[in-house]
A = this chain, B = another copy of it.
Amino acid sequence: MSKLFVWVNDSLIPSDEANVNIADLAVQRGYGIFDFFKTIDGKPVFLEDHLDRLFRSAVLMRLELKQSRDEIKVRIKRLIERNNLNDSGIKVILTGGFSSDGFNIAEPNLIISQQAFQIPRSMSEKGISILTHEYQRQFSDAKTLDYLQAIWLQPILKEKKADDVLYYSDGMIRECPRANIFIVTKDQKVLTPESGMLKGVTRKQVLEISADAYETETRDISMEEFRNAKEVFITSTTKNILPVVQVDGHVIADGKPGEVSRALALEYNRIIYPS
């Protein structure tokens, strides 16, 4: 396989040469933001939404991008051409930069990398199992580099044979580390949390699809309401719509992906995959 290229600021370089100096605030203080989108057949999916969020995260975390939106789009285009991957994930990281005192934000370093990556083009027939964990992500409106909790939990998920974790705080469900959560209530309402979580791009699309067919609402959801859900699924760039069939060892409904999840997944796939 040919070597993948990466943008580090203004240079498009082979990934094994894609370095940042240790003085960067990301290495020194874990400070930075990012966004991540996929390409299908060489085309970015929902790029404008992801760039909207990238710029929003940057503002929230006080990072001043030197590059314009158009400039970033040009780099993404050139990256896709150079690496020549059809289905991929592209990550845009904005670090805290080279701070003179190691504590104040400097000019961000902009890193754009790509990896081959493909999701099965039909929804999982099996569904996943998740664990709940009490945790509130800081600066939850921003897609920051802070994944301490999620990465720390990985060995526990493996040990308990769970596929993912769902954070809750103040008795309300919030988000998975890299996905949003939806429930379908017994009276067929589609709900997803509104606060204390990142507003996902897939979440936004699924909300639009859902509103066409079901009573759909964004509002905070208690753990109790969550435990009584008829269906649960998560949404993300890397997972599309993925049904959850088990929570903390308890099987949801009959333990199979529910009909609303299936219908939404079919419709979502119709949008993102060329026919």
Q: Which of B30, B62, B105 contacts A32, CB < 8 Å? A: B30
In the complex, per-residue mask of A146-163: 1 if CB is within 8 Å of any chain B CB, else 0: 111111101100000000
Most chain B CB within a 10 A radius of its CB, from A18, A24, A113, A148: A148
Q: How many copies does the complex hold?
A: 2
User: Interface size on A (CB < 8 Å)?
Assistant: 43
Which B residue sits closest to A91, measured CB to CB? B28
- Interface 1/0 per residue, A131-149 and B, CB below 8 Å: 0000100110000111111
Residue of B nearest to A145 (CB): B30
- Does any Cβ of B come within 8 Å of A95's Cβ? yes
Q: Which residues of chain B are near A145, meaning CB under 8 Å?
A: 27-30
Q: Determine how close the nearest CB of chain B comes to the CB of A188; give it in whole angstroms.
A: 35
Q: How far apart sit A15 and B27, CA to CA, in the bound complex (Å)? A: 14
User: What is the chain B residue whose CB lies nearest that of A96?
Assistant: B151
Among residues of B, the one whose C-beta sits closest to the C-beta of A27 is B26
A233 within 8 A of partner (CB): no
Q: Are A151 and B25 in contact (CB under 8 A)?
A: yes
Interface residues of chain A: helix, strand, loop or mixed (majority): mixed
Q: Mark A60-80, 1 if CB is under 8 A from B, else 0.
A: 011000000000000000000
A187 within 8 A of B: no
Of the residues B19, B93, B144, B154, contact of A148 by C-beta under 8 Å: B144
Residue of B nearest to A6 (CB): B22
Which B residues touch A254, using CB under 8 A? none
A16 to B95, CA, bound (A): 18
0/1 string, A17-42, CB within 8 A of B gives 1: 01111111111111110000000000
Assembled-state Cα–Cα distance A147/B96 (Å): 11
Instruction: Please indicate which of the listed interface residues A138, A151, A154 has the most CB atoms of chain B within 10 Å of its own CB.
Output: A151
- Complex Cα gap A155–B83 (Å): 40
Residues in B whose Cβ lies below 8 Å from that of A26: 26-27, 30
Q: Could you give 10 example pairs across A and B, Cβ below 8 Å?
A: A6-B22, A8-B22, A18-B21, A27-B27, A31-B147, A61-B148, A62-B155, A103-B151, A138-B148, A139-B152
Instruction: Spell out A's residues near B (CB within 8 Å).
Output: 6, 8, 15-16, 18-32, 61-62, 93, 95-96, 103-105, 111, 113, 135, 138-139, 144-152, 154-155
